[in-house]
Each structure stands twice: as structure tokens, then as C-alpha cells.
Amino acid sequence: MYQEKLINTASELVISKKGVLAADESSNTIKKRFDSIKVESTESKRRDYREMLFSTEGISESISGVILYDETIRQNASTGMPLVELLKKQGVIAGIKVDKGLKPIPGSEEESSTDGLDGLEDRLHEYRNIGAEFTKWRGVINIGKNIPSINCIKINSHSLARYAALSQKAGLVPIVEPEVLMDGVHDISQCFRVTRDTLREVFYALGEHGVDMRGILLKPNMVLSGKDSVNRAGPEEVARQTLSCFAETVPAAVPGIVFLSGGQGDEEATVNLNKINLLAKEFKAPWELSFSYGRGLQAAPLKAWSGKEKNKISAQKVFYERANIVSLARQGKY
């Protein structure tokens, strides 16, 4: 019923030069962001901040879509226009985070699954009626002593596949996000193995659930050394290991990969994305290699804004410039 629409929307989200802004921070996460600039996290302040980003002139030059949070998708701009309509007016596709966060896997203190499958079908139809055209669900895999377990990878893969199948049934493109965290002292080869094993299981589960690969996007981690690793791999090695991993695991039918920044600093995330795109031709990569950054796009404009209306224009300029830089990296031109 929705097959053609799903394929078209997925392709639009990873169209040349563009990527996705992740503005789907939960209430707790956005509070931490606001704490860093000493601004109280109220509903109106959160609205003002998101409106500042979404109303930036020229945003559609580098941003194809924005992932929203449940609160945000229901909010109106200061003009009374729904934020979803503001994005559409800008030529940007609205999406929605539909998972309800992490919960511990029974019997494990270090591993988690993602909550939110209960009632998901009804929520998806509601979000579609509000104006969303795509969705996102995050599963988290930790690397550590004796983890991840096979059980953890299987549980998260099944949840991602069930979510993706329900999203497509509702006419919404699912962004499938299995994130292998960069926290830890592991080297890049260990990250490669865990990412490979996770993606194999994810795509097996997607196939079992009848998900059309042409109508999804993958939002993975890059293959990186652990944040606290002694000798962290450089951009060339990150690009080579990442593309090698995907060549083994990601079907060519998937239209695009939108990398998460995953705790990398702005410069590291940008340089690595640039190098991946430079090497993609050598690897004959069949997918668009784009971005879905949160902090990687927002850290600088958040600081420039600092909760003050008088800073709105200058913060928008910072956001526009940051988005343009990441767009250049997405093209291998940074």
C-alpha cells in the first residue's frame, strides 16, 4: 500500500549533500544540554530553542529531515504555526523518535533493551496524522568484559525489526539505529567484530519480519576505537574498517546510511564522515553515506543561543555554518 511512498521518502532523506538533524532529545537529555548553558529547561524554552533551529534560513540546503521528540511534534511555533508545518515550509521532512528509552535486560546489570513496542501501532498512526513521514528507534550495545552477550544482540535486533515492520505498515520510513557505544577501552578491531555481529543479526531479523530494505535507513555507529583506548585509530583506519564492516553486512537495497556522531567531538565526527565518503568510491559502496547528528550539529548553536532571544540570529548563523560543514563532509569535500 505504501511501498512507493516509503521508497521515495527514504531516498529523499539521503539525497545528495543532505542529512538528518536529530532533535529528539528526551526531557532528561535536553535538560542536561540546557544545564550546560545555565538555562532552565521549561516547555517554552525548549520550544524556543527548537524553533530557532527549524526557522534558520536555508536549512534545506543541507538538512533533509528532522527527528522530533513527542513533545516537540505537538508544539506550535511562537507564530502559532505547528513546528511540523514550519519544517514543511522550509522544505524539510518531519520525523519522530518512537522508542521509550532503555531498560535493563533481566539478569544483566550492564546490558539494556529498548522499551516502547506496547501501543506502538496506535502511536505510529497518530504521529502520521500529525505530519510525521519517518520514525526512529534506538537499540544500544555495550562493549566490555564478556559483553555484548548474544542474548542482548538478539533482543535488540528483534525489537528493531518489529518496530521497522510496524512503521512500514503505517506508511512511515523507519530509521533503524543499532548503536555500538564507543564508551570503553576496546580497540577498533573489537568494535569491528561487535558491529559486524550486531548488523548481521539486525538484518536477519528485518528479513524475518518482512521489512522492505528499500524503504528503511540504517543509523549505525562508525567503527571506532573506544573513547578511552590508548592508541585510537585515525580517520583513514576508521573509514576503512567501517566500510569493510558494512560491505559484509548491509544489503545493497538499503538506500542510505545516516551515521550517528555517538559521542565523538564535532571535528572528529566531521573528519571521519569526510574520509568515509572519500573511500566509498574505492569500496564501490552502493548506499548513500550521510549523517543523522544531534550534538554534532547542535553543540555550537546551543552555546551561541544561550537561551537569549537577542542571540537568535547569530545562533542561526552558527547552525547554518555547522550544517554546511557536515554537508561538505557528507560529500567528501571537507
Active site (catalytic) residues:
219
For residues 329 and 266, the answer to whether their CB atoms sit within 8 Å is no
**Distances in whole angstroms, Cα of residue 158 to Cα of each of 65, 75, 122, 240:** 26, 32, 20, 28
Q: At 224, phi and psi to the nearest 5? A: -130, 160
CA–CA separation, 223 vs 232, rounded Å? 11
Which helix (H) or strand (E) element contains residue 296?
helix 295-305
For residues 176 and 216, the answer to whether their CB atoms sit within 8 Å is yes
CA–CA separation, 193 vs 196, rounded Å? 5
* DSSP category for residue 95: E
| DSSP state string for 1-30 | --HHHHHHHHHHHT-TT-EEEE----HHHH
Query: Over the Cα atoms of the chain, what is R_g?
Result: 19
CA–CA separation, 266 vs 270, rounded Å? 6
- DSSP, collapsed to helix, strand or coil, labels residue 329 as helix
163 contacts: CB under 8 Å, gap ≥ 6: 98, 99, 116, 117, 120, 135, 137, 174, 176
